[in-house]
Amino acid sequence: GGDDNEGASNGEGGGEGSNFKVAMVTDTGGVDDKSFNQSAWEGLTKFGEDNNLTENEGFKYLQSSKQADYQPNLQQLARDNFNLIYGIGFLMGEDIQKVAEQFPDNNFAIVDMVVDAPNVASITFKEQEGSFLVGVVAGLTTKTDKVGFVGGVESDLIKKFENGYKAGVMAVNPDATIDVKYAEDFNSAEKGTAIASGMYGAGSDIVYHAAGGTGVGVFTEAKNRKKNGEDVWVIGVDRDQYEEGLPENVTLTSMVKRVDTATYEVSKLAMEDKFPAGEIVEFSLKDDGVGIAETSSENVSADVLAKVEEYRTQLIDGDITAPATDAEFEEFMKTVK
Amino acid sequence: MNKLNFNRLLIPLLSILMGLLVGAIVMLIGGYDPIRGFSSLFEGMVGSPYAIGETLRAAAPLVFSGLAVAFAFRTGLFNIGVEGQVLIGWVAAVYVGINFDLPMFIHLPLAILAAMLAAAAWAFVPGFLKAKFHVHEVITSIMMNYIALYTTNAILRSVIGVTNERTESINESASLASPWLQELTQFSRLHWGVLIAVLAAIVYYYILQRTTLGYELRAVGFNKHASQYAGMSVNRNIILSFVISGMFAGLAGAMEGLGTFNGMTLSASFTGVGFDGIAVALLGANTAIGVVLAAILFAGLNIGGLAMQLGANIPSELVKVIIAAIVIFVASGYAFNYVIDKFKGNRKKGVEKK
Amino acid sequence: MSFLEVLYIVVPVALAYATPLIIAALGGIFSERSGVVNIALEGIMVIGAATGIITTLTLTDMGLGGLSPWISLLIAMVVGALFSLFLAVPAILWRADQTVLGVAINMLAIGLAIFVVRVLYNKGQTDFIEYRIAKENVPILSDIPVLRMFFINVQYTSFIAILLAFVVWFVIFKTPFGLRLRSVGEHPMAADTMGINVTKMRFMGVMLSGAFGGLAGAVYAVTVTTNFSGTTIVGQGFLAIAAMIFGKWNPLGALGAGLFFGFAQALSIIGSNLPVISNVPQVLLLIAPYALTILALAGVVGRADAPKSVGIPYIKGKR
Amino acid sequence: MEYVIEMLNIRKEFGTFVANDNITLQLRKGEIHALLGENGAGKSTLMNVLFGLYQPEGGEIRVRGEKVNIENPNIANDLGIGMVHQHFMLVEKFTVTENIILGSEPKSGLTVDRATARKKVMDISEQYGLRIDPDAKIEDISVGMQQRVEILKTLYRGAEILIFDEPTAVLTPQEIQELIQIMKRLIEEGKSIVLITHKLKEIMQVADRCTVIRRGRYIGTIDIDETVNEDRLAEMMVGREVNFNAEYSKADPQQVVLDVQKLVVKDSRGLEAVDGLDLQIRSGEILGIAGIDGNGQTELIEAISGLKKPESGKVLLNGKDVTGFTPRKVTESGVGHIPQDRHKHGLVLDYTIRDNMVLQTYYKEPFSKRGLMNYKAVAEKAKALIEKFDVRTPSVDVPARALSGGNQQKAIIAREVDRSPDLLIAAQPTRGLDVGAIEFIHEQLIKEREKGRAVLLISFELEEILHVADRVAVLYEGKIVGIRDPKETTEQELGFLMAGGKRGEETV
Ligand SMILES: Nc1ncnc2c1ncn2[C@@H]1O[C@H](COP(=O)(O)OP(=O)(O)OP(=O)(O)O)[C@@H](O)[C@H]1O
Ligand SMILES: Nc1ncnc2c1ncn2[C@@H]1O[C@H](COP(=O)(O)OP(=O)(O)OP(=O)(O)O)[C@@H](O)[C@H]1O
Ligand SMILES: [Mg+2]
Ligand SMILES: [Mg+2]
């Protein structure tokens, strides 16, 4: 099995491309989390296919079932001579830092986190910009002037979603109220339904979630309500969650975060020996790293989309800045009123 | 006596073999190659200094959580709340680790002590409620687990000041990490906690089997009515047992906070260390040496499972199936005894015929 | 918001929360009343949830449409009952420690379920089901003022759960089967001398518990998560055990405990929309359901006496 | 002669231990057949074989001449065999009726037909004069009624052959007489009975024949007629002569050791079970408390030994007020206690004999030093005690569970007596023991008295009290209603007092 292949690939020089090995370690969400792990893997898969790599040999993922698995998984891959190893998720920061030190000859990349090491590229996204845009959609679409936000576990990262969204809503609809709630759990669909039920029940008609599996519950609740004739919407996150909203069609739009683009691009750079070692690679609206889903035109009116486009240009041009933190949001609010 | 000891060893060994057999069957059904699977599993468990280091590293918290569960069991109580106590111990250790600047010989023991005391205080609650209000310890412990989960996050945010998902790293003077051990084991995360684990197992044995307190605790565990007649305070013992059990649990938390992770992350779910402790305790028959061996086996299989993913592309969930099968077989020791006796009986008869 | 408006939000959420808990707790009662500790409820729910989703997906593919989730509930009951044999056989026939088994079975369930999903779908979690059991407004009843709080935005499975609680109560306390089941959990040797087959009764207790546990898991999956992954069931089984003890091993008690728990959860989640509670720090709201349960136990409910022989393997003639 | 049951050459093994070795028992129709043997002789085992709870390793069973294979109690029931077990087989949380009908419940539709069940139960109960309250829970009724429930269970199932395993061990004298009448009535109705009892007097009174076994072996079967007496039975059973009516030395009471004043103690239901009780015991005397079960015996003991706080009143020990002390403090003040329920309160069955021997003293030197146990010292103590009190056990390292009831009781007595308490409370110390063991225990109590201790003996058996005690106090409804000199009173007089007669006439 494996031993033969190893001998072979070590023995002969081979083409430049075929010798390159890239892998990723998922966080506890797993590779098919319908969220950023999956997205990252889709990027790698595309990269692998484009470069004729075989799965498990040339490109591969390892799944972590608990936090303690991150480091051994990273180390295993490093020892197995993968040239570039991704840690998906901010929780792996510390581990990447350590392992990068231990294996100075391998390259590493981390998503959603900045790690300062000479052989690590830090991939971040301006989630607040994409969230701003879906906030604009929400602010313009709401009929009740009341919208909701459901976060998973409160943290700096999720705050970026929250604040960008709130700013977008307020920018177009200063009278709106925004109901913000954290489930303190990324995996409780049950809590998701309960929170959404509370929000819709109290008058919100659009809920944006940045809550992983908990968000699934938000969808379920919205679908139930729509089925019963209520006019409610969900805004999806990370990937285009249009399908999650079917058959009742409750996905208004989604804030997409192109982790796949990131892993694809960074892998490509690495293979071309242009790996951005020690750098922060930030993906934003400008380079389509974040944005709103293409399917948005299904449910969002053309007027609103036109408005979104306006804001998009302003954000890219730097005419407005989407707030990422609570403090920045306070600042932003001063400009609105 | 001899026969007893023999079976006591034989049954776990047979169980492990049968558990692996079950694993092999499941691998075959799933379309995987068992030989490749097992070779990478064992490789990942003990195949290199790194593997051994990681196995031992992962065993340390399990030894403590196993001892915690076992201690309560030995005194007639079911501490299903170890999970929450681990979290509380962890956060306490990290708090001391970050917020003090002391020489190591004070700082490290202080951080460990903080973990023990905080977890003990947490465990006091179900003990106290059982003693004073007859509230079933199992429910209280389950509830306390959830409370611990949310409280820990709140403490991390508001007391330790975490804004970015994870605490800063603890000061080196409170760290169990050992560059020497790490280097020795090809950068595993092996740390000095393993020594403390061994020490704790000895202390566990000592408390239960050698001290007056242990005599009393075990007596109450076996028969609280007779113990009460004999002048022991059943209520005091219930509380004490929970508190000591909690101290062991707190140490498991200290292992994670001061050894493996050097800090703590906001957690949305349980660590599993406490629940695994139940299985470890039971597999180890609630004895010190048994718990240590069971913890090493569990840890090894878990760590090996990661390698199995890499080497044979077999999902690491399979390890859970293997562990579960082993525990079920061990628990079914009576059936084994029966079969062994039958086997021996038949053989004896066969010999007699000749 | 008026008080009534609050109730219109809280009650449906509480009912939804309580439903799987009640069903699983009823399962626990069957098992423990027969003398077998059922820590494995969590694992059985995992299997039920996986079965519920996998069969719904399959049946939908076969074109059964909206019936699929309902049929999947039945299949989950059967699978749950079969899976509970992992508990029943060693616990009853081989005298294995029931707590140990329960813990092991919980591990086995999650390992096995994910493994099966991987083998079937080649990924770690299933797709979303197309047809779920949705929340509905019950015709007519949902128009009655005030009372409608129980009939809006509610899944029919919630009514099934409540109905089941009464049915199980009837079975356990009114029928010969119930009498025998309880006798086996209290004093198996006495039952044995009365010609009751202890082994058979305990098997039935455990397997019924498996059926209910499977149903509870499936209900949860087809109403709430609508797909299955390793984190679909995390702790609900343990909460169900707590509800069972809280309810003193009585089906109606379990119903009450489940509803109490559902209300506490609903209040804690929806609380921040309410004027009085909105100033309470969130962590207090999060821990409220659990803390309230402890307080209720310590203050009101007090001692709960388990069936006398629960957890003790029955060995004929043992003194 | 027509036999309804023949058990021929029965052999039953538990592992390597042979509990029944070639035992034969033949039961004639319409007779009461006594089965006699020391504790652990194998009586219960033999009957459990007959009832289908155990499978014999050898021998055969014939019922009404036909060879049968009784694989489980169901088959025994079908063959008309019913058994009243030594340890009651009752579900405590169930009602009397539920216990009786369990397993063959009358039904109406899906439910248990409670009305029919109740009526059937009441009918049988009247037919045989077995008074019961059909709706009471077992945990709330007296032992005597529990026994009647056990008998009703067998009759409800139409048993023709009844096995009574030590039915009288737990009964009061009145209840025993009632039971004897019941048995006679059953015989009149054409039933046959196997009766296990240690009380030779009862055998003499009701049995037609008696089979004796010793250490698992069959000794013989004799007719109970004028030619046999109790001494002969005892000799057959033990294998040597037994001295029943040992004359004990005269008591020489000195200063007051225990002084109970106006004691009021509530029971678990909150009723005043001990109701203003006064009592004194002096050093060097045995005070026996006679009374029907449930008149406050348990609560009195619990209050003296610190297990329960009295509502009011005082307990003085050697003049010192010990009211409300914890059990430990009471023990340390010089009280020893042989509890009524040896399994529940007397021993930690899973502990070894060694560890059980220091259950009260484990924390004291030499057994414990600076928080550490000295198990060597404990073992020495235990060895000395089992030697001195002739506790039959393979070693001190076996769990107490492994010992026979009599030896367990000896172990408890050894432990309690060894601490030289000023006051020794002995609650039913000989319940369920064979005559040899009873004799031994009585001797120990006398020895304690001779050493100048005060002994409080509580027993439901008047015979025992009259035999051993120096004074008899009669307890009725939580008060002492009379004190008698055993030499000058009769069982009749005591029985009258115990039933509430002449109340208030006496002062203590
Ligand atoms: N069913 C039960 N459930 C939970 N805990 C129990 C239960 N039974 C007993 N306990 C615990 O064991 C201790 C001693 O039990 P025991 O049966 O002596 O209780 P008790 O006599 O009611 O206690 P108390 O003397 O406080 O009234 C109790 O204090 C209690 O903590
Ligand atoms: N299930 C068992 N396993 C092992 N040994 C047993 C078992 N049951 C009884 N024995 C042993 O067999 C012997 C006979 O027990 P049995 O109960 O028949 O005595 P018995 O004559 O009824 O005594 P007692 O008068 O005390 O009731 C005893 O030594 C006892 O310890
Ligand atoms: Mg007997
Ligand atoms: Mg009590």
Task: State the complex-level ipTM.
Answer: 0.84
Q: What share of chain D is helix, strand, coil (3-state, %, to 5)?
A: 35, 25, 40
D356: closest CA of chain C, how far (Å): 20
Share of chain A above pLDDT 70, in %: 94
pLDDT of residue D431: 82
CA distance A106 to A100: 7
pLDDT of residue D17: 81
pLDDT-derived band at B347, boundaries 50, 70, 90: very low
pLDDT of residue B3: 47
Best-predicted range by mean pLDDT among B235-249, B278-292, C277-291? B235-249
Q: What are the chain B neighbours of D399 within 8 Å (beta carbons)?
A: none
Each residue's pLDDT tens digit, C92-111? 998 888 888 898 899 999 99
pLDDT of residue D330: 93
Calculate mean pLDDT across residues B34-59: 91
CB-based contact (8 Å) between D180 and chain B?
A: no
Question: Integer distance in angstroms from the first to the last C-alpha of chain B?
Answer: 29
Among D328, D347, D371, beta carbon nearest to B226: D347
- What letter does residue B312 receive in the DSSP assignment? H
What is the pTM for the complete model shown? 0.87
CA distance D174 to A101: 90
DSSP calls for C169-233: HHHHHHSHHHHHHHHHHH-HHHHHHTT--HHHHHHHHHHHHHHHHHHHHHHHIIIIISS--TTSS
Share of chain C above pLDDT 90, in %: 49
Nearest CA in chain A to B257: A68
The contacts found for C152-156 with CB under 8 angstroms, 24 or more apart, are: C152/C8, C152/C12, C153/A197, C153/A224, C153/A225, C153/A228, C153/C12, C154/C12, C154/C15, C154/C16, C155/C15, C155/C16, C155/C19, C155/C223
**Who contacts B93 (Cβ-Cβ below 8 Å, separation ≥6)?**
B111, B112, B114, B115, B170, B174, B250, B253, B254, B257, B258
Each residue's pLDDT tens digit, B251-295? 999 999 999 888 888 876 788 899 899 989 988 889 999 999 999
pLDDT higher than 80, residue D27: yes
pLDDT higher than 80, residue A106: yes
Q: Which tokens sit at D183?
A: 């048995």
User: In B75-103, which ranges are continuous DSSP H helix?
Assistant: 82-99
Q: Which of B11, B78, B138 to mutate to test the interface with C (most CBs of C within 10 A)?
A: B138
Main-chain phi, psi angles of C90, to 5 degrees: -65, -35
Going from the C-alpha of D69 to that of each of C73, D49, D50, D60, D162, the distances in angstroms are: 46, 10, 10, 8, 18
CB-based contact (8 Å) between C308 and chain D?
A: yes
pLDDT-derived band at A8, boundaries 50, 70, 90: very low
pLDDT-derived band at C317, boundaries 50, 70, 90: low
Nearest CA in chain D to B211: D372
Do C142 and C129 form a contact (C-beta atoms < 8 A)? no
pLDDT of residue C319: 45
pLDDT-derived band at A223, boundaries 50, 70, 90: very high
What are A207's strand-pairing partners? Answer: A148, A234
pLDDT of residue A9: 38
Calculate mean pLDDT across residues C252-264: 92
Of residues A58 and D404, the one with the higher pLDDT is A58
pLDDT of residue A156: 86
**Who contacts A100 (Cβ-Cβ below 8 Å, separation ≥6)?**
A106, A108, A115, A117, A119, A120
Task: Tell whether the torsion through CA atoms of D278, D283, D289 and D294 is positive or negative.
Answer: positive
- Alpha carbons within 13 A on the beta-carbon side of A267: 31
- What letter does residue C305 receive in the DSSP assignment? P
**Which ligand neighbours the alpha carbon of D197 most closely?**
2
**Who contacts C63 (Cβ-Cβ below 8 Å, separation ≥6)?**
none
pLDDT of residue B6: 63
Share of chain A above pLDDT 90, in %: 47
Say how many residues make up chain B: 354
Residue B240 C-alpha to ligand 2 middle, in angstroms?
A: 38
Q: What is the mean pLDDT of chain A?
A: 87
Among C174, C180, C316, beta carbon nearest to D102: C180
CA distance D147 to D168: 9
DSSP calls for D226-264: TT--HHHHHHHHHSS----SPPPPPP---SEEEEEEEEE
Do C161 and C18 form a contact (C-beta atoms < 8 A)? yes
Nearest CA in chain C to D83: C193
pLDDT higher than 70, residue D507: no
Indicate if ligand 1 lies below 6 Å from the C-beta of B131: yes
E strand segments, D99-241: 107-108, 111-112, 161-165, 192-196, 209-214, 217-223
- What letter does residue B227 receive in the DSSP assignment? H
pLDDT of residue B134: 85
pLDDT higher than 70, residue B354: no
CA distance A34 to A213: 9
- What letter does residue B257 receive in the DSSP assignment? I
Tell which atom from ligand 2 comes closest to the C-alpha of C317.
Answer: 1
Among D89, D98, D111, beta carbon nearest to C193: D89
Each residue's pLDDT tens digit, B295-317? 999 999 999 988 888 888 888 88
Each residue's pLDDT tens digit, B184-204? 888 888 889 999 999 999 999
CB-based contact (8 Å) between D346 and chain B?
A: yes
Nearest residue to A51 via CA among A84, A96, A12: A84
Number of Cβ within 10 Å of residue A31's Cβ equals: 19
Q: What share of chain B is helix, strand, coil (3-state, %, to 5)?
A: 80, 0, 20
CA distance B200 to B71: 12
D149: closest CA of chain B, how far (Å): 28
Indicate if ligand 2 lies below 6 Å from the C-beta of D86: yes
pLDDT higher than 50, residue A16: no
CA distance A18 to D262: 99
CA distance B132 to D6: 57
The contacts found for A229-233 with CB under 8 angstroms, 24 or more apart, are: A230/A200, A231/A143, A231/A205, A232/A200, A232/A205, A232/A206, A232/A207, A233/A141, A233/A205, A233/A206, A233/A207, A233/A299
Tell which atom from ligand 2 comes closest to the C-alpha of D15.
Answer: 4
CA distance D237 to D198: 10
Say how many residues make up chain A: 337
Q: What are the chain B neighbours of D372 within 8 Å (beta carbons)?
A: 210-212
Q: Which tokens sit at D355?
A: 């560890």
**Which ligand neighbours the alpha carbon of D85 most closely?**
3
Residue D302 C-alpha to ligand 4 middle, in angstroms?
A: 10
pLDDT of residue D413: 92
Nearest CA in chain B to D364: B212
CA distance D11 to D216: 9
Main-chain phi, psi angles of D135, to 5 degrees: -100, -5
Indicate if ligand 2 lies below 6 Å from the C-beta of D298: no
Q: Which tokens sit at B174?
A: 């409170």
Say how many residues make up chain C: 319
Among B212, B219, B232, beta carbon nearest to D371: B212
Each residue's pLDDT tens digit, D301-339? 999 999 989 999 999 999 999 998 999 999 999 999 999
Calculate mean pLDDT across residues C253-266: 90
Q: Which tokens sit at B250?
A: 């707190």
Q: What is the mean pLDDT of chain C?
A: 88
pLDDT of residue C150: 81
**Who contacts C100 (Cβ-Cβ below 8 Å, separation ≥6)?**
B279, B282, B283, B327, B330, B331
Calculate mean pLDDT across residues A233-239: 93
E strand segments, D53-110: 58-63, 66-68, 81-84, 107-108
Nearest residue to C298 via CA among B130, B243, B148, B76: B130
Residue whose CA is closest, atom 12 of ligand 2? Answer: D19
Each residue's pLDDT tens digit, D411-450? 999 999 998 899 999 998 988 788 888 888 898 899 889 9
CB-based contact (8 Å) between D92 and chain C?
A: yes
Each residue's pLDDT tens digit, B319-334? 889 989 998 888 887 6
Q: Which tokens sit at D161?
A: 């052959």
Q: Which tokens sit at D29?
A: 């129709």
CB-based contact (8 Å) between A63 and chain B?
A: yes
Helices C68-83 and C41-61, packing angle to 10 deg = 140
3-state secondary structure of D148: helix
Nearest CA in chain A to C220: A190
Calculate mean pLDDT across residues A247-262: 91
Tell which atom from ligand 1 comes closest to the C-alpha of C305.
Answer: 1
Indicate if ligand 2 lies below 6 Å from the C-beta of D398: no
pLDDT higher than 60, residue B351: no
CB-based contact (8 Å) between C182 and chain D?
A: yes
Going from the C-alpha of D251 to that of each of C298, C310, D175, D280, D424, the distances in angstroms are: 54, 51, 32, 15, 16
Cis omega (within 30 of 0) on the bond before D366? yes
Q: What is the mean pLDDT of chain B?
A: 88
Calculate mean pLDDT across residues A101-105: 88
Each residue's pLDDT tens digit, D332-382? 999 999 998 888 899 999 999 999 999 999 998 899 999 899 999 999 999
CA distance D416 to D385: 11
- Alpha carbons within 13 A on the beta-carbon side of D172: 19
CB-based contact (8 Å) between C309 and chain D?
A: no
Nearest residue to A161 via CA among A41, A290, A33: A290
pLDDT of residue C308: 86
Each residue's pLDDT tens digit, C1-30? 677 777 888 888 899 989 999 999 999 999
Tell which atom from ligand 2 comes closest to the C-alpha of D198.
Answer: 25
pLDDT of residue C124: 80
Residue whose CA is closest, atom 9 of ligand 1? Answer: B134
Q: Which tokens sit at A36?
A: 């950023």
Contact call for B164 and A156, based on CB within 8 A? yes
DSSP calls for A249-310: T-EEEEEEE-HHHHHHHHHHHHHTT---TT-EEEE-TTTTSEEE-GGGGGTS-HHHHHHHHH
By DSSP bridging, strand D209-214 and strand D217-223 are antiparallel
pLDDT higher than 70, residue C275: no
Calculate mean pLDDT across residues A262-290: 90
Each residue's pLDDT tens digit, A308-334? 999 999 999 988 999 999 999 998 888
- What letter does residue B259 receive in the DSSP assignment? I
